[in-house]
Amino acid sequence: MSIWNKKEIKTKKQILKHDIEVDTLIIGAGMTGMNTAYYLKDKKNICVVDASKIGHGVTLNTTAKINYFQEKIYTKIINSKDKLTAIKYLKSQQYAINSIKKIIKAENIDCDFKCVPSFVFASTKSEVEPLKKEVEFLLEQKVKVKEKQLPIDITSYASYSVNDTYIFNPIKYLQGIYNAIKDKVSIYENTKIVKIEKLWTHYNCYTDKYKIKAKNVVIASHYPYFTIPFYLPIKSHIEKSYIIVSKVKKDLGFTCINTTSPTYSLRFYQDNDAIYQISLSESHNTAFKQNDLEHFKKVKEIFNLKGSDITLKYTNVDIMTPDNLPYIGKLKPNLYIACGYNTWGMSNSVLASRIISDMIQNKQNKYQDIFNPLRFNLSNIKKLPYIIYSQTKSFIGPKINKNKSWYKRISFVKKDGLNLAIYKDKKGNNHIVHNKCPHLGCSLIFNEVEKTWDCPCHSSRFNIDGKCIKGPSIYDISYKDNRRT
Ligand SMILES: Cc1cc2nc3c(=O)[nH]c(=O)nc-3n(C[C@H](O)[C@H](O)[C@H](O)COP(=O)(O)OP(=O)(O)OC[C@H]3O[C@@H](n4cnc5c(N)ncnc54)[C@H](O)[C@@H]3O)c2cc1C
């Protein structure tokens, strides 16, 4: 449950029930997939499939700030690449934000879209100078950044804000996109692609029962389940964050984020029922610090939420890239991918949709070159030891230390050579799963708060009975799953 799906998206709930042939197949109906379908809606034979429901991936648990003032991202890009790339990234974010504005206006989408000032602040003294450097870059690019005090009582040694940034409700936005494309694009929910096969003239994409023949395929599934030819596991790590939604008396009408760890990220949201503060913190690489209960406790402390009316608690993950630029573009002829948004996926998903829809229509997009998904540059090489260390730690760590001290209701057994994990619920019922992610074999971590089994390596998630609720895994881990027993 997230703050955004208090009301479900109304769709025809269509499921694929026969083989089809399309021009372009988009795999994934989150922000990336749905926006790509929007830009291609006037072309013939466009199809979107989603393993779950529209918007029920990472998009569901986002904080949904539409922002180009993204912590210290421009300094990081200057360090990992160069200043020209940082300038191009800034322009690409502004271009994407304008694109979202245009879509909302053209389709008259009611999604609580609001212009609010966005603050970036230094939560430690040592962050003051780095933040000033970031601001100097923005000022040089004629961005109107002003030094301004944070409108909330959080320790801050310097804070700056911009005014042309936005917030919205992403699920209401996707409802609007759905309404705009539903009569032109075929959309299938609960339709999971488990295999993509390249032939001379097209791709065959398979669900467990049916085949979709497509000239172009767009992978908009967040973390792709295949490794080759993209090699994402060695070009990224996963970052997890903890979100608490609490009721407050006043909407203070701003968003903020700091530049260092622990993260302080905040925004407000108002619906007919109440005003909410959405507080996010404790962001970390999933290879480390895996006690979810402890993280939520810290978020409560950091934002002083003791005694607050807390309505929801949830986690979310995103793909982080070594050079801080997303992976957007062509992997092979007619095969496209978009991911690695470094937690700035509202603007980057729309940017990706524009780039990929242009590529499919043989149009040049002025931003496409800096996001080439096949790049492997100096930043990749420099960060490779860290990535390999964290991948190894997340692969081996849970295998060595299964019984974490914080597990209250979990036990592990070996039966018929299989590693099983058992969650005993409050009524005493056992929920048994295979303790191995079907994607690349990592052992799983139990999330005590959301009651899910989470893969620390590549972010797959399973419910307590083993149903896969987030990829890259395409299989469940239920004990009774015949395939695996
Ligand atoms: C804690 C947190 C806070 C964030 N806050 C912000 C923010 O304030 N602003 C911002 O700009 N960004 C933010 N982000 C980033 C942003 O939420 C994501 O980058 C973005 O939502 C990703 O969208 P997506 O469409 O690429 O992926 P998803 O929303 O995950 O969509 C992928 C879809 O593909 C489907 N799928 C997966 N595998 C298959 C398959 N095999 N077959 C068919 N379908 C499949 C899934 O069911 C899913 O619906 C945040 C991220 C995190 C982790």
Ligand 1 midpoint to CA 49 (Å): 15
Q: What angle do CA 415, 416, 419 make, to 5 degrees?
A: 50
Query: Could you tell which of 343, 461, 467, 474 is best to mutate to test the pocket of ligand 1, judged by most ligand atoms within 8 Å of the CB?
Result: 343
For residues 416-420, average pLDDT: 90
Percent of the chain residues topping a pLDDT of 70? 99
State the architecture of 401-484 in CATH terms: 3-layer Sandwich (2.102)
Q: Does the pLDDT value for residue 187 go beyond 60? A: yes
* Confidence band, pLDDT 50/70/90 cuts, at residue 376: confident
Q: Does the pLDDT value for residue 355 go beyond 80? A: yes
Find out whether 266 and 253 touch, Cβ atoms under 8 Å: no
How far apart (Å, rounded) are the C-alpha atoms in residues 125 and 106? 45
- Ligand 1 atom with the shortest distance to the CA of 317: 53
Ligand 1 midpoint to CA 346 (Å): 9
pLDDT at 403: 81
Q: Does the pLDDT value for residue 130 go beyond 70? A: yes
Average pLDDT of every residue of the chain: 95
| Residue nearest atom 38 of ligand 1, based on CA coordinates | 221
Q: Which amino acid is at 118?
A: S
Q: What would the DSSP string read from start to end of 330-341? A: EEETTEEEEE--
Same fold for the pair 3-61+171-233+324-382 and 401-484:
no
Instruction: Give the CA distances from residue 145 to residues 134, 148, 225, in Å, rounded to whole numbers and listed in that order.
Output: 10, 9, 41
| Residue nearest atom 41 of ligand 1, based on CA coordinates | 193
Query: Could you tell which of 174, 222, 312 is best to mutate to test the pocket of ligand 1, judged by most ligand atoms within 8 Å of the CB?
Result: 222
Residue ranges of domains in the chain: 3-61+171-233+324-382, 401-484
Instruction: Give the CA distances from residue 206 to residues 48, 91, 143, in Å, rounded to whole numbers and listed in that order.
Output: 14, 38, 47
pLDDT at 255: 98
pLDDT at 7: 83
For residues 49-74, average pLDDT: 98
33's tokens: 């997939």
252's tokens: 């203070």
Q: Per residue in 13-25, pLDDT tens?
A: 999 999 999 999 9
| Residue nearest atom 3 of ligand 1, based on CA coordinates | 62
Query: Which is more confident, 357 or 483?
Result: 357
pLDDT at 398: 85
Ligand 1 midpoint to CA 340 (Å): 10
Find out whether 51 and 215 touch, Cβ atoms under 8 Å: no
Query: Could you tell which of 205, 212, 221, 470 is best to mutate to test the pocket of ligand 1, judged by most ligand atoms within 8 Å of the CB?
Result: 221
How far apart (Å, rounded) are the C-alpha atoms in residues 331 and 374? 7
Ligand 1 midpoint to CA 341 (Å): 9
| Residue nearest atom 37 of ligand 1, based on CA coordinates | 221
For residues 448-476, average pLDDT: 95
- Ligand 1 atom with the shortest distance to the CA of 239: 53
pLDDT at 377: 85
For residues 148-154, average pLDDT: 95
Q: Does the pLDDT value for residue 213 go beyond 80? A: yes
Q: Does the pLDDT value for residue 233 go beyond 90? A: yes
Ligand 1 midpoint to CA 403 (Å): 31
For residues 75-102, average pLDDT: 98
Query: Could you tell which of 35, 50, 195 is best to mutate to test the pocket of ligand 1, judged by most ligand atoms within 8 Å of the CB?
Result: 50
pLDDT at 482: 45
CB-based pocket (< 6 A), ligand 1? 27-33, 49-52, 56-59, 62-65, 192-193, 220-222, 225, 241, 280, 316-318, 339, 341, 343-347, 349, 471, 474
- Ligand 1 atom with the shortest distance to the CA of 193: 42
Q: Per residue in 267-324, pLDDT tens?
A: 999 999 999 999 999 999 999 998 999 999 999 999 999 999 999 999 999 999 999 9
Q: Does the pLDDT value for residue 483 go beyond 60? A: no
Ligand 1 midpoint to CA 157 (Å): 33
Query: Could you tell which of 344, 356, 474, 476 is best to mutate to test the pocket of ligand 1, judged by most ligand atoms within 8 Å of the CB?
Result: 344
- Ligand 1 atom with the shortest distance to the CA of 34: 25
pLDDT at 484: 45
How far apart (Å, rounded) are the C-alpha atoms in residues 54 and 60? 9
Question: Alpha helix locations (H) across 23-82?
Answer: 31-40, 73-80
- Adjacent-strand bridge partners of 329: 337
- Ligand 1 atom with the shortest distance to the CA of 192: 42
Ligand 1 midpoint to CA 136 (Å): 31
Ligand 1 midpoint to CA 221 (Å): 8
For residues 198-226, average pLDDT: 97
327's tokens: 């992976």
* Confidence band, pLDDT 50/70/90 cuts, at residue 160: very high
Could you tell me where the beta strands, DSSP code E, fall in 109-252?
114-115, 118-122, 146-147, 158-162, 166-167, 186-188, 195-198, 203-206, 211-219, 237-248
Could you tell me where the beta strands, DSSP code E, fall in 32-95?
46-49, 65-66
Ligand 1 midpoint to CA 253 (Å): 25
CATH number of 3-61+171-233+324-382: 3.50.50.60
Ligand 1 midpoint to CA 482 (Å): 30
Helix (H) / strand (E) element for 397: namely helix 378-400
| Residue nearest atom 27 of ligand 1, based on CA coordinates | 222
* Confidence band, pLDDT 50/70/90 cuts, at residue 69: very high
Ligand 1 midpoint to CA 62 (Å): 8
Residue of 193, 266, 230 lying closest to 25 (CA atoms): 193
